[in-house]
């Protein structure tokens, strides 16, 4: 791992997994990184934990993510398909600790 560069594994809605190399010295959320990498995520609220279309399931590495704030948990509670591994990617800013993170994109497209 180079300084400030981590690799994460992203599974899309079709079950295809790709590796993304992400700089951690930029002030972007995981939602913004995923959109910037070409993944279709509506993010209609602009990243303030109000739409849940940036929903991801964390398959590996959840322990290295920051604990969710109440507003994230409240929004996840409204999702019928959320479970214990669910997070809102707009609320996640990755650090060097998150090298190897595995996620699955779950956010709705409507
Ligand atoms: S972008 Fe709306 S909740 Fe994350």
Does pLDDT of 5 surpass 80? yes
- Pocket of ligand 1, beta carbon within 6 A: 31, 43, 45, 47, 49-54, 75, 88, 90
Does pLDDT of 1 surpass 60? no
Q: How far is the CA of 51 from the centre of ligand 1 (A)?
A: 5
* Per-domain boundaries in the chain: 5-105
Q: How far is the CA of 88 from the centre of ligand 1 (A)?
A: 6
Residue-wise pLDDT tens digits, 72-101: 999 999 999 999 999 999 999 999 999 999
Question: How much is the pTM?
Answer: 0.95
Q: How far is the CA of 52 from the centre of ligand 1 (A)?
A: 5
* CATH number at 5-105: 3.10.20.30
Confidence band, pLDDT 50/70/90 cuts, at residue 2: low
Residue-wise pLDDT tens digits, 33-68: 999 999 999 999 999 999 999 999 999 999 999 999
As beta bridge partners, residue 102 has 9, 60
């Amino acid at each position: 791992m180079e300084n400030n560069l981590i690799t994460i594994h992203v599974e899309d809605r079709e079950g295809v997994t790709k590796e993304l190399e992400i700089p951690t010295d930029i002030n972007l959320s995981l939602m913004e990184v995923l959109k910037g990498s070409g993944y279709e995520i509506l993010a209609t609220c602009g990243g303030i934990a109000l739409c849940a279309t940036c929903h991801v399931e964390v398959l590996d590495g959840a322990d290295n993510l920051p604990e969710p704030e109440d507003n994230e948990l409240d929004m996840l509670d409204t999702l019928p398909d959320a479970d214990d591994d669910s997070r809102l990617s707009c609320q996640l800013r990755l650090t060097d600790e998150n090298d190897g993170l595995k996620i699955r994109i779950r956010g709705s497209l409507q």
